[in-house]
Structures are given as structure tokens and as C-alpha cells.
Amino acid sequence: MRSLIAVTVALAAFGTLAKPAFSQEPIKIGVMFPYTGPISAQGRPERDAIKQAFDEENNTIAGRKIELLYEDSTGRPDTGLTKIKALVERDKVHLLLSELVSSIGAAVAPYVNEQKMPWISTVALASLTRAQKSPYIFRFVPSSYQYATTAAEVAKKMGWKKVYFIGWNAPPSRESYEAVKKVFGEENVVDAMFPNVGTSDYAPYLTKMDTSKADGVFTAMWGADAPRIVQQYVEYGLNKKMPLFGIASFTSEELLGDMPAASVGVLSAYTYCGTLDTAENKKFVEGYQSRYKAVPGSYQYMGYMAAKMVIQAIKDINGKVEDREAFIAALGKVKVKGPMGETSFDEQHGMVADFYVLTVEKGSNGQLQNRCGERIPQVKDPYASFP
């Protein structure tokens, strides 16, 4: 009997040693953004904010270490898809927290769905929660229809009746135009113009604008093109006669340092305002500044909060990310109170969050900043208007 007990104890001990200890294995997360190329000014900071969120957890969740694996999409769809495949097939990541470029999102979506790989993106492409929607795709950024509809409704509430539209010849801007047209009516859009990304001279477009025909101008372009068009808009004196309303992150904090002084008064409506006085926002801003010696803006906010949503879902399933179905079910139910208020995902895995009406102003330090105006609570993607 004694020898039988000894054998049983030995086998039990061996079984304990042989059993995979998930708690000892790192959770691998693929983090791909454009770190080089024309969109790198947004990609690198977003990556950094994701890292900040996991640093705040000491890179350990539910007893498991977090391993962030970085890849550079360079802003190109072919490169991005290749890098995503490497993260999934070579590195065996458990989930993807990646990307902001719409064309890359469109290229990656079919592969992610085929692989049943959980993917939390900050790609504003509306199709990710429509034609390309999948149980495995979550979009933690407003869709182009979502943020443009909000901007148009704010401007209409302000009394705008006739408008101009100018935006990139690219999907986010084209979709933004559709939203503006839906809110105002096509007959009330005096003209819609679509210069290419990286246009250096907007004279052919700005000289066509007749200030007697419109109450304001919507513009949907981002990155280096945003301060460039503001500068030229001011040089042509249009700002004195027609307000400029930037769509989405047009006046994001990380871009304000490049904006001309005359951009004071430029409007926008979006999900992040750096001057909002909440404990969560102070923690986010101070944490980012201490790590990276820079002021965070909307891109950093999206990365940070997307990571926070992932962190909470991992906690809710006690770190068992190998169970993908349990993870995506948990993620679909997550609600997190962040720097701007409560965030969640809707039934099609689109972002739900508070928006704020923003106005560029000169701060007490002489630097440009966004003044946080009206809060628009819990804005959802307008599926009924844009199915």
C-alpha cells in the first residue's frame, strides 16, 4: 500500500510538472503600425501609448507576462499584410492590437477573419463593422461615418446651412463627405473637392470657394496636410469669412505645434480633448509626457484605450487568451472609464464613446490647445443611415 501511495504521489507530481502552465507563458500581442513612411508621425506615438497602458500593469495581467511584438507596416497594404501574417504564423501571437491606415485595414480583414485571430484595430474604415465585419474584428476608433456625422450635426446645430467640403481623395474623406451630404442634403453642399494626399498647393481649390455662398467649410485630411491647408486657408483670408471645421483628428494635440497662430478658432468634434480635467486624463497625459517628453493627442488616446479594453478583457477571463471565443465574448462586453469617459463596443464591434466639440485656442503658455466644449454622450456608429 505504501509503495502504491508513493507511485501515485510521484505520478501526480510528474503530471503537475508536465501540465502546460499557461500562467508561466507570456501572452503575445502583435503591435503593427507605420513606424516609417508618411504616416509614421501618427504610428509611432500610438505604439508608444499602447506600451504605456501595459507598463501601467507592470506588463503582467492575471499572473501572465505580456510580450509586445512590434512590426512596421510602413503604411503600405502589401507590407502590412505580410507583417501581420508573420506575427500570426511565425510568432504565434494570441491577438493583434494593430494599425491605423484604412487601406491596410481593408487588406488585413479577410486574413484575420480566416485565421479567427482577435484583432483590435484603430482603423476608421467603416467597412470593418459592415461589409468586412467579423466576430474577430473590433474597431476602437470612430468610423468615418461616425465622426463625420457628428461633425456635421454639430455645425448644423450651430446654424450652418450651406457648406463646402474639401478632403483627401481617399476612403476616409470620401466616406466623410457622404456623411456631410446626408446631414445637410446634397443641394446644400456648394462644392466637394478631393485633392490627393500630400498636396502641397491648395490654391486651385481654395480660389474656387465663394464666401458668399456658404456658412463654413468642412475639411477631412490629417497629418502634415492639416496644418498646410490651414496655413493656406488663412493666407487667402477665408478664415475671416467662413469658419473651418476639421473632421475627426484634424486638430489633434500632436499636430497643433505645427499649426499657424491664425488657426485659433478652427473647430472640430472628436473623442479626445487634451485639456479635459479628469483624473483619468491627467494620469494619461502625465504618464505619456514622463515617458516620451511629448503631449499626447487623439492617436495616442486611441492606442492607449484600445490597450485598456484588451487588458480588461484579459482580466475578465483570468488570462486564458488561448480560448479565443471566451476572449472575444469578454471584449464585446467590456466597459472602461478612461480619460474621456466610458468606452465600449457596440453590437457590431464598433467603438462607442463620448465626443467633444473642440475649438483651437491659445493657452496660458502661448501654445495652441483645444478647448473642450459640449460633451456629446455615447456616440454610436450610424448604422441605420449607413448600413
The pairing of beta strand 351-362 with beta strand 368-379: antiparallel
**What average pLDDT does range 228-253 have in this prediction?**
95
Alpha helices in the chain (DSSP H): 2-18, 40-55, 77-85, 102-115, 144-157, 171-184, 203-206, 225-235, 253-256, 279-292, 298-316, 324-333
Tell whether the model's pLDDT for residue 37 goes beyond 90: no
Say what the pLDDT of residue 169 is: 96
Q: What angle do CA 74, 353, 159 make, to 5 degrees?
A: 100
**What average pLDDT does range 28-39 have in this prediction?**
94
Domains and CATH numbers, the chain: 22-142+277-349 (3.40.50.2300), 145-270+354-379 (3.40.50.2300)
CA distances from 348 to 128, 261, 338, 383 (A): 9, 41, 21, 9
Give Cα 97 to chain centroid, integer Å.
Answer: 11
- Mean pLDDT of all residues belonging to the chain: 93
Say what the pLDDT of residue 70 is: 98
Tell whether the model's pLDDT for residue 17 goes beyond 70: no
Specify the range with the lowest mean pLDDT, choosing from 98-102, 196-200, 258-262. 258-262
Q: At what angle do helices 298-316 and 279-292 cross, to 10 degrees?
A: 110
Tell whether the model's pLDDT for residue 274 goes beyond 80: yes
**What average pLDDT does range 75-98 have in this prediction?**
98
**What average pLDDT does range 273-280 have in this prediction?**
96
* pLDDT digit string, tens, across residues 90-147: 999 999 999 999 999 999 999 999 999 999 999 999 999 999 999 999 999 999 999 9
Tell whether the model's pLDDT for residue 8 goes beyond 60: no
Residue 89 DSSP code: I
* C-alpha–C-alpha distance, residues 302 and 222, integer Å: 15
Tell whether the model's pLDDT for residue 219 goes beyond 80: yes
Tell whether the model's pLDDT for residue 231 goes beyond 50: yes
Say what the pLDDT of residue 252 is: 92
Q: Give the rounded percent of residues in the chain with a pLDDT score beyond 70.
A: 94
Say what the pLDDT of residue 7 is: 41
CB atoms within 10 A of CB 201: 10
Tell whether the model's pLDDT for residue 363 goes beyond 50: yes
**What average pLDDT does range 316-322 have in this prediction?**
97
Say what the pLDDT of residue 258 is: 86
CA distances from 242 to 120, 216, 245, 294 (A): 38, 5, 10, 32
Say what the pLDDT of residue 21 is: 43
Tell whether the model's pLDDT for residue 32 goes beyond 60: yes
Say what the pLDDT of residue 255 is: 85
The pairing of beta strand 267-270 with beta strand 351-362: antiparallel
**What average pLDDT does range 289-304 have in this prediction?**
96
Tell whether the model's pLDDT for residue 16 goes beyond 90: no
* C-alpha–C-alpha distance, residues 294 and 313, integer Å: 29
3-state SS of 306-364 is HHHHHHHHHHHCCCCCCCHHHHHHHHHHCEEEECCEEEEECCCCEEEEEEEEEEEEECC
